[in-house]
Chain A
């Protein structure tokens, strides 16, 4: 099939294909591989954090039930209230000299669930032998 012998519309479509290839398809392919590289770097950093904190499984989607279940397994007094659509207020009471357990829980919260602590803020309140720690988790 000689290009000379083809019709004007055929030539136009072929030209359009070449133009689309260079201004749309190739940039998209390049963009994809750049993003893939960036994603792999971030995954590597996350993997390092998982290893450092001895966490085997990857973070799961936050659901009220599963979060409550895992918090209740560690602490005796946990209350979770939904504040907004994506926000939950978590209050945990621990014995004053057992604060380390709550530190470990909060430190790894974003590696276990796809959440962040709103405003990076912890509130402490004295409850005689106990201390209550309150924070708001926000779904990612």
Chain B
């Protein structure tokens, strides 16, 4: 009898513990067995236990829950990401299936569980569905037609009031996009969280209806029916040939041992690296560029650009300012030199006119800081010669007699 039973083995990891359960599936629902807890240091023991259960019940599905925060609900399937169809026109997607080396055949998203839980309640009014799993809020705005928007909010380290504020922010953000407020909130809780519920009810302007169920029970339910499981488990779109892992899944315990061992996510994992290479994102390329597989290292590398940018920015700023100052200095220096030269030029001109006095009359002349050239009519030759040669001893003074008994003088000197 034992061998003909269809058993669902469920497991998930919350913080540092693995939780394991199994349930016998019957036509009238499932009969859950005990839940076991393993510390992450006992991972081998935990896997061994799954293997034992598998050997005990040959017709099994090993079911787990994706608690990744990078999941989102989309309207269109992205063939390059792993996805699950959860509505007629919606897909829940995440970057990759990350189950480590833990045996898993069916992998569900909290969004799929939420949809399964509330699909019959949805109508044309907008409902905010919230799943609270592993201290994360999986939120989606849905009507009977489709899921309009989804968010995942991590709540670790936040107070209940801060969580409520984030939910409110999401409601507001959705209102900004669609000008629609949710009619009410349906909340599926995997843990008893009375304080959070109380604060949410106080802080949010919407009615909150709650349902509580354990993750194990939800997973047993999801995997308990072929149609349900096959329509919403997370497929790896890496390979179409694996697209129907549970095609052979049967409520009447018709799952063959072969299909169970060949078509599971463990096998998919083995074929992942090639595919993931194809699905590589820009950020992954950036990571590869920096030559590390450690996710935090590229972040460090990017952060290390901050001091470099700061140093270059400061250097550039001071260089520009310095160049401006140099230009100003040049202008100021030219102005100073010009002023000194102008003063000297005026002094020379004054001295020359003073030296000529009443003894001569200038006809034309050139006065500069480097040379003097004068030409005019002279009346007192000797006094003029004397005063000009006193000013410029090396100057050349000459006179020319004119026809009308006048005398012309010229004086040339270098300064």
**Chain A interface (Cβ < 8 Å from any Cβ of B):** 1, 6-10, 13-14, 16-17, 20-21, 24-25, 28-29, 31-32, 35-36, 38-39, 42-43, 45-46, 49, 59, 99, 103, 106-111, 114-117, 119-126, 131, 140
Contacts and interface: CB of A to CB of B under 8 A. Distances in A.
A35 B326 contact: yes
Contacts of B361: 126
A120 B329 contact: no
Top 6 A-B pairs, shortest CB-CB distance = A25-B315, A110-B338, A116-B338, A121-B368, A28-B318, A42-B332
B336 to A, nearest CB: 6
Contact of A7 (B291, B337, B366, B370): B291
Interface string B54-82: 00000000000000000000000000000
Interface in B366-395: 366-370, 376
B339 A25 contact: no
B69 to A, nearest CB: 23
A8 B376 CA distance: 86
Interface of B: 290-292, 297, 300-301, 304-305, 307-308, 310-312, 314-315, 318-319, 321-322, 325-326, 328-329, 331-339, 341-346, 349-350, 353, 361-370, 376
A83 B4 CA distance: 111
30 contacts: A7-B290, A7-B291, A7-B292, A10-B304, A13-B304, A17-B308, A20-B308, A25-B311, A25-B318, A29-B318, A31-B319, A32-B325, A35-B325, A35-B329, A38-B329, A39-B329, A42-B336, A45-B336, A107-B342, A114-B331, A117-B341, A119-B368, A120-B341, A120-B368, A120-B370, A121-B368, A122-B345, A123-B366, A124-B365, A140-B331
Nearest to A59: B335
Chain A residues touching B, majority SS: helix
B342 A106 contact: yes
Contacts of A24: 311-312, 315
A6 B331 contact: no
Contacts of A45: 336
A81 B60 CA distance: 104
Given A35-B326, A116-B341, A46 B370 contact: no
A17 B309 CA distance: 8
A120 B370 CA distance: 8
A117 B338 CA distance: 7
Nearest to A49: B339
A123 to B, nearest CB: 5
B298 to A, nearest CB: 8
Contact of A49 (B336, B350, B370): B336
A46 B364 contact: no
User: Counting chain A CB atoms within 10 Å of each CB, which of B300, B335, B362 scores highest?
Assistant: B335
Given A20-B311, A103-B350, A42 B333 contact: yes
Contact of B305 (A13, A38, A119): A13
Chain B residues touching A, majority SS: helix
B42 to A, nearest CB: 28
Contacts of A38: 329
A126 B362 CA distance: 7
A7 B297 contact: yes
B319 A9 contact: no
A124 B353 CA distance: 11
B335 A122 contact: no
Given A6-B300, A7-B292, A109 B342 contact: yes
Contacts of A13: 301, 304-305, 308
A122 B307 CA distance: 59
Nearest to A119: B368
A130 to B, nearest CB: 12
B4 to A, nearest CB: 55
Contact of A46 (B290, B305, B332): B332
Given A38-B329, A121-B368, A124-B364, A20 B301 contact: no
Given A7-B297, A25-B318, A28-B318, A116 B368 contact: no
Contacts of B363: 125-126
A38 B363 CA distance: 46
Contacts of A99: 353
A115 B339 CA distance: 10
A28 B322 contact: yes
B314 A123 contact: no
Nearest to A124: B365
